[in-house]
Amino acid sequence: MATIENFNFKDKKALIRVDFNVPLNDEQEVTDTTRIRAAKPTIIKVLEDGGSAILMSHLGRPKGQVNADLSLSHIADAVSEIIGVNVLFVDDCIGEKAEEAAANLEPGQILLLENLRFYSEETSGDEQFAQSLSKLGDVYINDAFGTAHRAHASTTVVAKFFEGNKCFGDLLAKEIEAIDKVMTSGEKPVLAILGGAKVSSKITIIENILSKIDHLIIGGGMTYTFVKAQGGKVGDSICEDDKQQLALDILQKAEELGVKIHLPVDVLAADSFSNDANTQVVDVTNIPDGWQGLDAGPVSMQRFKDVVLESKTILWNGPLGVFEMENFAKGTIELGNFIAEATKNGAFSLVGGGDSVAAVKQFGFADKVSYVSTGGGAMLESLEGKTLPGIAAIRS
């Protein structure tokens, strides 16, 4: 795997695809700098070698139109502050103005290009647009895992103009290694924890990872499709009736592969979908009519704890309950504590997928697990076994 460690960037201009698609408030200020911080090691390596960095990213969905609210000029100060170097900005990403700014860049300097998606050619993967981008640098670095599943001009097509001079950035290399640990090289037993509302959104992941894991904990709304498929009563809980046969097929496949599936045995049920609802702990197979399961129960959590603590490699994708409501967050928080404890004891833990990452940040587990993935869709497609175009382009 070609990474920045294989290159010396002295007197080179590194064209770096970063993922600076960050949230802005009404004053156009960055409200979450996680993605900018994630790109810092790659940028610093280039500068310390004696090279210069040209950063390209998209922001939002301007759909090929110039939109002042989505200009990357709004984030230049935040990038300067985090990297510790004053960032220069140019209000285009191709053409004469961008080329001149890149040509004038001196070693140790950083240039931030304007939003790539002000051009529709970016998302269509236009080769001419990619070639125009390629004129700006000597070496191409892809460090944007969040967009590695898109065959866009800046993430995939541009790489063909840098034969022998392209590599993965620090962040993207870590993402690839983390997923590889779970999927192929991780120490056994390997545990996957899949939560969230629907079986349908996780089916391809389950099918792809079953042969690679030893244990599978199923939580969240998916639980009730599995319970009902096996003849249980789920009351008013979320349930995909048309996926019951699929749930049974998964259970059978797991049995054939020797994978132990762990479903909740008790749940915290509520009489309405509200934080103020009346609640009771009930058997997962016998939820009364008018009640819905919104979190895992205490007996389930004790069983899950035993499984987590005996595992050496752990993937967590999806919460165990409706953690956005305080009264139904306990299962997700406890699970985070178990994973943190297992990690402290030497297990490798990877957290990925929007809701799990949100929960990990919200409840303070980000520093207590081995790796938190920055790319929602890209992470899920990796787990589904798909080849991501942004990764394939560097390897080709």
Q: To the nearest whole percent, how much of the chain has pLDDT over 90? A: 89
Q: What is the pLDDT of residue 296?
A: 97
Catalytic residue from among 13, 17, 35, 181: 35
pLDDT reading at 108 higher than 80: yes
The reply to whether 169 belongs to the active site is no
| 4-172: CATH number | 3.40.50.1260
Q: Which residues are annotated as a binding site for ATP?
A: 202, 293, 324, 353-356
Q: Which residues are annotated as a binding site for substrate?
A: 19-21, 35, 58-61, 117, 150
pLDDT reading at 207 higher than 80: yes
Give residue for tokens 């959590």: 301
Q: What is the pLDDT of residue 90?
A: 98
**Mean pLDDT value of segment 204-216:** 94
Q: How confident is the model at residue 140 (pLDDT cuts 50, 70, 90)?
A: very high
Q: What is the pLDDT of residue 354?
A: 65
Q: 275 with 250: CB under 8 angstroms?
A: no
The reply to whether 260 belongs to the active site is no
Q: What is the mean pLDDT of the chain?
A: 95
The strand pairing partners of 142, in sequence order, are: 17, 168
Q: Which residues are annotated as a binding site for (2R)-3-phosphoglycerate?
A: 35, 117, 150
pLDDT by residue (tens digit) across 236-252? Answer: 999 999 999 999 999 99
Catalytic residue from among 260, 354, 361, 368: 354
Catalytic residue from among 160, 198, 303, 305: 198
Q: What is the pLDDT of residue 96?
A: 97
Q: How confident is the model at residue 121 (pLDDT cuts 50, 70, 90)?
A: very high
Question: What are the distances in angstroms from CA 188 to CA 134, 191, 332, 385?
Answer: 43, 8, 24, 20
The strand pairing partners of 296, in sequence order, are: 267
Length of the chain: 396
pLDDT reading at 131 higher than 80: yes
Domain made up of 186-381: CATH architecture: 3-Layer(aba) Sandwich (3.40)
pLDDT reading at 139 higher than 80: yes
The reply to whether 354 belongs to the active site is yes
Alpha carbon distance 9, 18 (integer Å)? 17
pLDDT reading at 196 higher than 90: no
pLDDT by residue (tens digit) across 316-373? Answer: 999 999 999 999 999 999 999 999 999 999 999 999 876 888 899 899 999 999 999 8
Q: Which residues are annotated as a binding site?
A: 19-21, 35, 58-61, 117, 150, 202, 293, 324, 353-356
Q: 173 with 141: CB under 8 angstroms?
A: no
304 closest CA partner among 178, 230, 179, 195: 195
Give residue for tokens 């929960």: 359
Q: Is 186-381 the same fold as 4-172? A: yes
pLDDT by residue (tens digit) across 7-46? Answer: 999 999 999 999 999 999 999 999 999 899 999 999 999 9
Per domain, the residue ranges of the chain are: 4-172, 186-381
